[in-house]
Amino acid sequence: MQRPISSAGSKVGIFWFIQEPGKAPAIFGSGVAVRNGEPYGQYINYPGDHSQYWLEAKPCLPPFFHDCGPKDWPRGRVFYNTKTQHFDVYLNEQLQTPKLEAKVLAYFDLPTAKTSFASDPHYAQARFQLGLQDSKEGTS
């Protein structure tokens, strides 16, 4: 199957926004080039899941996060839709802010005009709420 790509450097992937006390929320995740993703119906998907990646990457995170699980922080996933040739980002609804969406666009090198964001009940569970109002930077 031919996979037209909107942007050569764009990636599909999984992500979280994590936050240490007194710091701005930071994006943390993993992505692969669209051409290296897995077919999933009309989509190209990241070839992995949040639970497995969290277990593998958690030791690299600061100690504050070592007691956290893969569903504790707001998270999401980036798909590439082969029919529309657009990227679809499904995420926890608290991440639907212009600043956090801009971080997702930058992290996965997504074209703004060809990317849409939508909350998804699959990602609704999160033990922690991000403290966006306490951070002057909010986007660092």
- Total tally of structural domains belonging to the chain: 1
What pTM was estimated for this model as a whole? 0.88
pLDDT number for residue 7:
56
Q: Residue 85 carries which side chain, given as an amino acid letter?
A: Q
Share of the chain residues as helix, strand and coil, in percent rounded to the nearest 5: 30, 30, 45
- Which domain range does residue 105 map to? 11-127
pLDDT number for residue 113:
96
Q: Answer whether residue 136 shows pLDDT above 60.
A: no
Name every residue whose Cβ is closer than 8 Å to that of residue 93 and which is 6 or more positions away in sequence.
119, 124
Nearest Cα to 74, choosing from 115, 118, 120, 130? 130
Whether residue 13 contacts residue 30, with contact meaning beta carbons closer than 8 Å, is answered with yes
Residue 136 in domain = no
Residue 18 in domain = yes
Residue 1 in domain = no
Residue 89 in domain = yes
Count of CB atoms situated within 10 Å of the CB of 25: 26
pLDDT number for residue 131:
87
Residue 27 in domain = yes
Residue 138 in domain = no
